[in-house]
Structure 1
Amino acid sequence: MLRSFLIGLVAGQRGITPLAVIAIATRREEVTADLPLQKLMLNPVIAVGAAALAAAEMAGDKMKTAPDRTVPIGLAVRGITAAYAGAALAARNRRVLGAAIAVGAALASSYAGLAARKWGMRRFGQTATGFVEDAVVFGSGLAVANPSLIANRVPR
């Protein structure tokens, strides 16, 4: 359930990133492709498309006209992607619980993340804080969904 919680934290910051990292994890066989529509993520075009959408969201975040992540549509997207990713990362018999945990984490972290980002923007500006947030969010999401990427790099 920890991975479901952590991917929920990621979803609270960037709504599409969970789908991109689940697509990567599915293609790397770190996550089984047994959820509805997940076999689509085995297709390289779909996986690249998910990554491109995540990148577009990150780019859009730097625009002055970008809405807060807590607007209703933003929260809805975060909830949906968190639920899917949280279920994908949970044990097969605990998928509903994994989805629920991820959604709760996503909604709570959306508000906490927005407050932290606004604080950072006052000190460092929108673009700089956005790039730092993107790096932390994508790196965290990748590590949560693909733990062997980290395990293979740990010196023994």
Structure 2
Amino acid sequence: MIRSLLIGALAGARALTPLAAVAQAARRGALPLDHGGPALLARGPFAWGALALAAGELAGDKLRDAPDRVIAPGLAARMTTAALAGAALAPRRQRGPAALASAATALGAAWLTWRLRQAAMRRFGQGVTGLIEDGLTVAGSALLVRSARRL
């Protein structure tokens, strides 16, 4: 269940990147056989749509008028996508607890990463801090998904 918690933490920073990474892995059949992910994640339109939305989120985050991640819709999105991704990375018998734990982790991580980003933006600006956060989230999501792949 550690992967579910970690993917939830990443979803706290970027709502769609972790889900897109998990959906792409599911589409390729690269998740463990006993994974708890819904079949919807493996469908091409969902996986490609999640990837497109994640790219949009990465671009939109750098805009000056981008909303804070800690507003209600942002928190709800993070918790929802974290729950889906977290369930997909957990063994099927742990799907429910993994989804809840991942959503809760995303909620806490959203507040933590928002505070860290606010402090970093005062020193380095919005664009640089956003790119660093993007890199960490993309790399972390890729590593988690790769570590969960079928052997």
TM-score w.r.t. structure 1 length?
A: 0.87
2:121 matched residue in structure 1: 121
1:38 matched residue in structure 2: 41
2:134 matched residue in structure 1: 134
Counterpart of 2:65, as a letter, is T
d(CA) in 1 for partners of 2:103, 2:71: 16
Counterpart of 1:20, as a letter, is A
Aligned residue pairs total 146
d(CA) in 1 for partners of 2:148, 2:88: 16
1:56-82 alpha-carbon deviations (Å, 9 max, x no partner): 001110011011100000000001000
2:95 matched residue in structure 1: 95
1:87-139 alpha-carbon deviations (Å, 9 max, x no partner): 00111100001101101110000000000001110110000000010000011
Say whether residues 1:58 and 2:58 are aligned partners.
yes
Which aligned segments of 4 or more residues in structure 1 are displaced greater than 4 angstroms? none
Offset at 1:148? 6.9
d(CA) in 1 for partners of 2:42, 2:26: 8
My pick for the range that moved more, 122-131 or 18-27, is 18-27
TM-score w.r.t. structure 2 length?
A: 0.90
Offset at 1:19? 1.8
Offset at 1:23? 1.6
Counterpart of 1:72, as a letter, is A
1:49 matched residue in structure 2: 49
Confirm or deny: 8 A CA contact 2:27 2:42 kept in the other structure.
no
d(CA) in 1 for partners of 2:42, 2:120: 39
Counterparts of 1:78-89 in structure 2, within 5 Å, are 78-89=78-89
My pick for the range that moved more, 74-83 or 26-35, is 26-35
1:5-58 alpha-carbon deviations (Å, 9 max, x no partner): 000011101111122101221133222585142231xx2x54332211101001
